[in-house]
A and B are shown apart, each in its own frame.
Chain A
Amino acid sequence: MDNIFGQYGVLLDVNLSTKEIKKTPIPKEDLKNYLGGRGLGMKILWDRVKEPGMDPYSPENPLMFMPGPFSGLPIPSSSRTTIITKSTRTSPKNKKYPHSSTISYANMGGFFGPEVKFAGYDGIVVTGKASSPVYLLIEDDKVEIKSARAYWGMGTDMFDKALIEKFGKGYQSCYIGPGGENVIPYASVLNTAARAAGRGGVGAVMGSKNLKAIVVKGTQQPKLAQHKKYLELLAKARQAFRDDKEGVEYWRSGGTAHALESSSDNGTMAVKNYREGTFKEIEKINTKAARTQIWKRDFACFSCRLACKKSGFAKGAYGGVIHDGPEYETGTMVGANLLISDLEGLNKIIAICDDYGIDIITTGGVLGFLMEARERGLIDLDFLDGIDLKWGAIDASIDMIHKIVRQDGVGKLAGLGVKALAEHIGNGSEEFAIHVKGHELAAWNVNTRAERMMITYGTANRGACHLNSSSPTRQNHNAMQDSLGACSFAGAWYKGDISYRHFIEAITGVEHTDEEFAMIGERIFNLEKLFNYREGFERVDDQLPERFFKDAHTYGKGEGILATHQDFDNWIEAYYKERGWDLKTSKPSPEKIAELGLNFTV
C-alpha cells in the first residue's frame, strides 16, 4: 500500500462458507478516521451490514478481530485486541425488526492482537459458516482453514494446552470453549486460557460460524512514518512508568482486585443482585485474602509494565484449580453479587466459566437474578430443575452454570440472560432484571453515584458497559483508546508530550490537531450510535432497571440514596444536548453527522 505507515492497509478477509481467503485493502481514509481496533471494526461493520435487522447468528454477520496501530510495538500496555460484531445480547424495547440488536465489541489483553499485526494484517474479518468445526491457521501470507473436529468440546484450558503442545513458541491463538460451541448467547472468546473478550456474545457468533480458534504466527512489522520520533516517545513513555513507582505498584500488587475492598467501602459494589452496595464479608475475598490463599504469580500482557493478571491455585474443598482470579469484575459478579465469600469456591466458579468460555459478568447477573426470584417466591425448585439456588450457594451456582452451557432444562432459558428470564417469569421480575438493552450490568453498582453510573450504563453502545464512562468527552476518548490497541489501565500515563496523538503522528505520519484527534473518538461513538438507531434503539432504550429508582441500599455509604425518574430524565437530556442528539429519539443531529464526516450513514 502506497504511503501507508505504521499499518498495512490490509484486512484478512475469510469466508468460511465459500472458503475464500483474500486480502482486502483498507482505504487510507478509514485508517486515518477510525485508526484500528474498535473504530475500524465499527466502520467495517457498517460497510458490511447494509440493512438493519440482520440476525447476528446469520453467516453474513461479520466477526472482526482487530488489533490497532500500537499493536506489535513495545509501547507499554498496548496488547489489546477488540472483537467486533453485531450483538447477540441486545434488543430494543420496541422491536423494529425481529433481530434488531446493537453493535458489540469486546476487548482482551494478552498476545493475540500483536501477533495478528506481525502476520501482516490490520485486522481479520470472518464471515460465513463452516460446515463442520474448523480453526484458522495464519502464518504470515499462508492462511488455511483446518479441521477442528479433534478439539471440539474441549474446555479452553485443555485446548490452550493442546495448542501450546501442537504449535509451541511463536504462535498465538484465541478461541471459544463449549459455551461458544453451543452458541450460548453470552459466550466469550479467550486467549491464554484466562484473558477474555467476555462481553456482548462475541464467542456465540464465533461458535455460530463453527470457528473454534484462530492460530497466528507472523514475522513482519510495518514501516513507521517517523521512526526516530517514535523511539523518543517510547523512551519517554517507559521513563514515565519508571518514574511513577506508586502508580505502577497499584496494578502489580493487586490490579483491579484492589477495588473489591474500596468499592465495597464506598458502597459502589454490586451486592446481592445490586440490592446493596457494600459486601459485609469483603475481607474474605479482598486482595489480602487472595494473596494469602490463591495468587501465586503476577503476569503481564505483551510489553506491559503493570502485570495485573494474577494466577494461582486454591486449596481446600474447592481446591485443585489452577487459574486466574479473582479480579474486580469476576470477584464481584460471582462473589459479592451472589453473597459468595468462600474465596476458593469463588475461584472455582471463575475457572469453570473461563473454561466453558462464558461471560462471567453476565453469568453473575443471571445467577443473582435467579437467586432473588427464588427468594421472592417467583420461581420454585421445580423451575430450577431441583437446583437449590440460594444466596451464597457455590455448588448450586456451579450446577446452574453446567446446565446453562449444556443447554439443559432451565439452563436453556438462563442462557438467554436476565431480560429473557424476566419476560418469561413476569410478576414484576423485570424490576430487578439488571440490564440495559438486554446486556447485563457490570460490577459497579448505581445508586451511590447514580448520575455517573446511569449515564455510563444507559448510553453505552454495546448495552450496559462499565467501561463506557459518563461524559461524552471521556466516552469519545475511550472509543479512541480502544481503537489503538492500548489498554485503559495504562491510559493515565499517556498525557502531555507522550499523548496518544503524538504516538499516532510518529507511527502513521498523519497529523491531527487536538480537536481533530478528539473527533476520532466522537466519530466512532456516533457511528456506533447510528448503527443502533438504525436497528431501532431510541431514548427509551437508554433507561435503567426500576430497581435503581426504587430500592435504596439499606446500609453502607449508599444507604438511603435514590435517584428519581425526573433526575434521570434531566441527566440524559443534558447528555443528549452535549452530544447533539435529538432529545426525543436520541438520534444524532444532521449537523453532528455532517461535522463528523458520517454523511454516508444517511
Chain B
Amino acid sequence: MTHKESSRRDFLKKLAIGGGGVVLLGKYNFLFGNQPKNGILKAIIVDFDKCTGCRTCETACSAFHHQIEIEGEMLNGLGNPKLANIQVYHYNPDVDIPSICANCPDTPCVNACPVTPDPITGHKAIFRDELTQSIRTNHSVCISCGSCSRACESERTGVIKMNSISNHPEHICDHCGGNPQCVMNCPYDALSFREVDVDGTYFGLSPEEIAEKLFERYYAGEEVVNG
C-alpha cells in the first residue's frame, strides 16, 4: 500500500508540475498517442455515496460485451457478471466498490507493454484507441507477459487481469463505444461517463484502497464489537 500510494503521489506531483499537457515518457522513451486529441479523456466515474452494490452494472456490461446470435441477430447476452469489465467488490463493514478502468492519462499499462509499437499506428499490444480514447488490446501481437496487468495492479486500480485460458489482458473498459451500458442501466445513478479527474479522491485506486477510505468516511472511529 505504501509503495502504491507513493507512486500515485509521485504521479500526481508530476502531473501538477507539468500541468494538463504533461507528456510522460514510457519505459522505452517513446512518445505514444496517449493523450486525447481533443484534450478530454473520459472514464466511468463512481459516486460511492449512491452505489448500493446491486451489481446491475456488471450484468449490463457483460450482456453487452458477450452477445449471442439468435436466428442471425446479435443480441445482448444473459449478463454473467464474471465476464464484466466492471467488477463490484463487497466488503464488511458494508461498502461496495465498482472497480473499473480509470482510463489513466499516463497509461501505466501501455507504458509497461514491451511489444514494439507498430510503425504506422504506433500501437503496442495495449494502446489508447484514437477514436474512442479508451485503452484497447491487440491480441495478435500480445506476448502474454502480463506486464500491463502488473503495472495496473501495482500503480492503479488493478482492473486488468490476464484471462486464464487465452492469457491475454481483459476487463479493460471500452466505454461501449461511447454509450456505456453500466451508466445507462445503473438504477441508482451512481455511475457517470465524464472527464477523468486525476485529482479525484478515488482516482486510480484499487478496491481495497477505496474501501479503506469509505470505512473511514461512513463508519469512522467505530470499532466493530458485535456480540
Contact = CB atoms under 8 A, between A and B. Distances in A.
A323 interface: yes
B154 interface: no
Nearest to B224: A322
Contacts of B219: 296, 313, 322
Interface in B162-204: 185, 187-188
Given A73-B79, A161-B92, A192-B90, A303 B226 contact: no
A541 interface: no
A1 interface: no
Contact of B93 (A155, A158, A303, A311): A311
A301 B54 contact: yes
B82 A219 contact: yes
A4 to B, nearest CB: 16
Contact of B92 (A160, A296, A351): A160
A505 interface: no
Given A73-B78, A192-B92, A303 B52 contact: no
B185 A300 contact: no
A147 interface: no
Given A118-B80, A157-B224, A303 B92 contact: no
A315 B207 CA distance: 28
Contact of A323 (B60, B76, B226): B226
Contacts of A299: 52-53, 94, 96
A302 B92 contact: no
A533 B55 CA distance: 43
B227 interface: yes
B95 interface: yes
Interface in A340-361: 351-352, 354-356
A496 to B, nearest CB: 21
A74 interface: yes
Given A228-B75, A241-B187, A219 B54 contact: no
A21 interface: no
B68 interface: yes
B75 A227 contact: yes
A76 B55 CA distance: 11
A479 interface: no
Contacts of A221: 78, 80
Contacts of A168: 89
Nearest to B87: A169
B218 A296 contact: yes
B95 A297 contact: yes
Contacts of B63: 74
A169 B89 contact: yes
Nearest to B50: A298
Contact of B218 (A111, A297, A303): A297
B54 A307 contact: yes
B188 to A, nearest CB: 7
B89 A305 contact: no
B103 interface: no
B80 A219 contact: yes
Most chain A CB within 10 A, of B75, B94, B227, is at: B227
Contacts of A352: 226-227
A25 interface: no
B120 interface: no
A303 B52 CA distance: 10
Given A192-B90, A227-B75, A356 B55 contact: no
B222 interface: yes
Contacts of A303: 54-56, 59
Contact of A227 (B68, B188, B223): B68
Given A73-B78, A74-B79, A192-B90, A238 B225 contact: no
Contacts of A74: 56, 59-60, 63, 79
Contact of B76 (A231, A297, A300): A231
B17 interface: no
Contacts, number: 121
A522 to B, nearest CB: 31
A597 B7 CA distance: 68
A416 interface: no
B91 interface: yes
A320 interface: yes
Interface in B82-117: 82, 87, 89-96
B131 interface: no
A216 interface: no
A193 interface: yes
B1 interface: no
B59 A307 contact: no
A319 interface: yes
A170 B92 contact: no
Contact of A305 (B59, B93, B187, B207): B187
A238 B223 contact: no
A300 B89 CA distance: 14
Contacts of B95: 297
A498 interface: no
A67 to B, nearest CB: 15
Interface string B3-22: 00000000000000000000
A304 interface: yes
A319 B70 contact: no
A413 interface: no
Contacts of A354: 226
Given A164-B90, A322-B222, A356-B227, A298 B52 contact: yes
A302 B224 contact: no
A169 B86 CA distance: 12
A321 interface: yes
B210 to A, nearest CB: 13
Given A299-B53, A303-B55, A303-B56, A320 B225 contact: yes
A192 B223 CA distance: 18
Interface string A228-242: 100100000010011
A395 to B, nearest CB: 15
A54 interface: no
A369 to B, nearest CB: 23
Interface in A282-301: 296-301
A379 B215 CA distance: 46
A36 B76 CA distance: 25
A218 B81 CA distance: 10
A396 interface: no
B171 to A, nearest CB: 12
Nearest to A169: B89
A420 interface: no
Interface in A366-401: none
A583 interface: no
Contact of B52 (A118, A219, A228, A300): A300
A158 B82 contact: no
A214 to B, nearest CB: 17
A321 B218 contact: no
Contacts of B70: 227-228
Nearest to A314: B222
Contacts of B96: 299
Interface of A: 72-74, 76, 111, 118, 155, 157-158, 160-161, 164, 168-170, 192-194, 218-221, 224, 227-228, 231, 238, 241-242, 296-305, 307, 311-313, 315, 319-324, 351-352, 354-356
Given A74-B56, A155-B227, A228-B75, 6 more contacts: A231-B76, A297-B95, A303-B54, A307-B54, A311-B93, A356-B227
Q: Closest 7 interchain pairs by CB?
A: A300-B54, A74-B59, A300-B52, A305-B187, A355-B226, A307-B52, A311-B94
